[in-house]
């Protein structure tokens, strides 16, 4: 790993929270992600299963964790399963974790090698009433690939058909949505790296620069600050390309007079920052650009003022839709007749703001959490309204990350320049 070692108490707390939520007599098993082939004999870069990482901090492939709080032998209530180090493999692929190293990262004291887990697991399963297994229940999941966790579910049900089974994902959805202070500390490091990168870009962007050159600066800055890399594909979209929400080609020239939308964030210690800023390529907004930018900033600040415990994301989005309607009337994008005659299922403002305003953030950029239930203290959200005007070939989006508190929220990106005048001043400087 490139980042500094994290406090293992972070993962110990997470396991304690999970164990407390398990029904009595339940054994839970989590398995790592596959190492996916790309072409020929090559593999995609390995990415750990988010739930397993949340519980252990271990990023190595072929890892398992077994949690059995009611195991009569205390030694085996938390077990980390690793691949036994192999001298030949290490010559090709690098060092694998040793026992003490894994203990230091995870806080788990009992380490078992993968080639000896089957017999032990069978003994523990026979003591349990229920087996809790993990699956991917992220609402945004779109892939039907039969991953390791689903193959493991089938294997366990074939071997132990008379046990009860439960979904770890249902528990993890509740727990991972609420971030502990230790988790937020790591997230703030990712945000700090992102802030320093954005400040650098304000002095780098100018007419004629290519979008991919900006993306290269992001990579360089992130790695230079010990981030793992970008938390997701950076969106570097100048001019009309900013209206494409997931534009990642990043291969065009940034031209004088255009706005540049940059949506990027660092991953540090497994946690993701998610920032969007829209800046003038020439260093100064036109009057119209500034009016649209300030309307978007107004929506951003309004959203921040109402995102607090008790409201649901659905109700929150509806309120912002009302405010967006008023802003779009002022900008001349909508007429009163458009609003009066709008389809309730496809409101008039949706022509210029066609995405959600907030999503959960954490180990995953689109992290686990509810949309329909009331928001709770401890959740972390993005706030990212946008205004996209096809007729003017313009797209503006402004995004910060906030941690929900008992009475409101804490803006974790409050130090990152956001006012139009400040952005202009820093670009000029």
DSSP code per residue over 253-306: B--TT-EEEEEE-EEETTEE--EEEEEETTSS--HHHHHHHHHHHHHHHHHHHH
Please list the pLDDT of the chain residue by residue as tens digits (429 residues): 899 999 999 999 999 999 999 999 999 999 999 998 889 989 899 999 999 999 999 999 999 999 999 999 999 999 999 999 999 999 999 999 999 999 999 999 999 999 999 999 999 999 999 999 999 887 777 777 889 999 999 999 999 999 999 999 999 999 999 999 999 999 999 999 999 999 999 999 999 999 999 999 999 999 999 999 999 999 999 999 999 999 999 999 999 999 999 999 999 999 999 999 999 999 999 999 999 999 999 999 999 999 999 999 999 999 999 999 999 999 999 999 999 999 999 999 999 999 999 999 999 999 999 888 999 999 999 999 999 999 999 999 999 999 999 999 999 999 999 999 999 999 998
- Residue 224's contacts (CB-CB under 8 Å, 6 or more residues apart) are none
**Tokens matching residue 213:** 């050159």
Q: Provide the β-strand partners of residue 259.
A: 280
User: What is the DSSP annotation of 98-162?
Assistant: -HHHHHHHH---EEEEGGGHHHHHHHHHHH-SEEEE-----TT-------HHHHHHHHHHHH-TT
Please give the C-alpha separations between residue 405 and each of 34, 55, 267, 402, in angstroms, as whole numbers: 37, 24, 23, 9
**What is the CA angle 425-282-205, rounded to 5?**
80
Q: Residue ranges of the domains in the chain?
A: 9-176, 181-428
What's the rounded Cα separation, in Å, for the pair 367 and 174? 11
Q: Is 363 helix (H, G, I), strand (E, B) or coil?
A: coil
Q: Provide the β-strand partners of residue 121.
A: none
- Residue 119's contacts (CB-CB under 8 Å, 6 or more residues apart) are none
pTM score: 0.96
Residue 135 burial (CB count, 10 A): 17
Per-position b or e across 331-368, b if 16+ CB within 10 A of its CB: bebbeeebeeebeeeebbbebbbeeebbbbbbbbbbbb
What's the rounded Cα separation, in Å, for the pair 389 and 387? 7
**What is the CA angle 85-87-88, rounded to 5?**
120
Q: How far is CA 200 from the centre of its chain?
A: 23
Expressed in angstroms, the distance from the first to the final Cα of the chain is: 36
Phi first, then psi, for residue 86 (nearest 5°) are -125, 120
Angle between helices 9-21 and 181-202 (to 10 degrees): 130
What's the rounded Cα separation, in Å, for the pair 399 and 307? 14
Q: Tell whether the torsion through CA atoms of 412, 415, 416 and 418 is positive or negative.
A: positive
Q: How far is CA 64 from the centre of its chain?
A: 22
Under CATH, domain 9-176 is a member of which superfamily?
Creatinase/prolidase N-terminal domain (3.40.350.10)
The pLDDT of residue 318 is 96
Query: Do the domains 181-428 and 9-176 match in fold?
Result: no
Assign domain 181-428 to a CATH class. alpha beta
What's the rounded Cα separation, in Å, for the pair 138 and 193? 27
Looking at residue 408, what DSSP letter applies?
A: S
**Tokens matching residue 208:** 């004629």
CB-CB contact of 309 with 287 (8 Å):
no
């Amino acid at each position: 790993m490139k980042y500094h070692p994290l406090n293992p108490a972070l993962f110990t707390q997470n396991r304690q929270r999970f164990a407390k939520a398990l029904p009595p007599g339940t054994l839970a098993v989590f398995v790592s992600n596959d190492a996916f082939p790309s072409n020929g004999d090559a593999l995609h870069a390995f990415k750990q299963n988010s739930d397993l990482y949340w519980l252990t901090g271990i990023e190595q492939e072929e890892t398992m964790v077994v949690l059995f709080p009611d195991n009569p032998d205390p030694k085996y209530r938390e077990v980390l399963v690793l691949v036994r180090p192999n001298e030949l493999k290490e010559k090709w692929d690098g060092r694998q974790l040793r026992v003490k190293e894994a203990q230091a990262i995870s806080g788990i004291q009992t380490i078992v090698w993968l080639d000896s887990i089957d017999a032990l697991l069978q003994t523990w399963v026979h003591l349990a009433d229920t087996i809790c297994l993990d699956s991917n229940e992220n609402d945004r999941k779109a892939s039907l690939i039969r991953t390791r966790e689903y193959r493991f579910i089938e294997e366990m049900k074939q071997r132990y058909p008379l046990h009860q089974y439960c979904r770890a994902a249902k528990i993890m959805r509740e727990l991972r949505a609420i971030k502990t202070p230790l988790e937020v500390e790591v997230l703030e490091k990712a945000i700090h790296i992102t802030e320093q990168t954005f400040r650098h870009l304000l002095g780098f962007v100018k007419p004629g620069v290519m979008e991919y050159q900006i993306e290269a600066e992001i990579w360089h800055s992130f790695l230079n600050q010990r981030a793992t890399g970008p938390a997701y594909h950076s969106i570097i979209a100048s001019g009309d390309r900013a209206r494409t929400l997931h534009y990642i080609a990043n291969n065009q020239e940034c031209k004088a007079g255009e706005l540049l939308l940059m949506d990027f964030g660092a991953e540090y210690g497994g946690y993701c920052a998610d920032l969007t800023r829209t800046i003038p390529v020439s260093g100064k907004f036109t009057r119209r650009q500034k009016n649209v930018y300030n309307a978007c900033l107004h929506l951003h600040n309004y959203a921040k003022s109402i995102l607090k415990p008790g409201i649901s994301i659905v109700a929150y989005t509806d309120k912002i839709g009302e405010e967006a309607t008023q802003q779009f009337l002022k900008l001349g994008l909508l007429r009163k007749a458009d609003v009066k005659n709008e389809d309730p299922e496809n409101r008039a403002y949706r022509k210029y703001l066609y995405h959600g305003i907030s999503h959960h953030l954490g180990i995953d950029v689109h992290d686990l959490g509810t949309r329909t239930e009331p928001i709770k203290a401890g959740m972390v959200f993005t706030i990212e309204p946008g205004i996209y005007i096809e007729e003017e070939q313009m797209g503006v989006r402004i995004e910060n990350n906030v941690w929900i508190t008992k009475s409101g929220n804490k803006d974790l990106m409050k130090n990152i320049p956001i006012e139009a005048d400040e952005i202009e001043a820093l670009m000029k400087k």
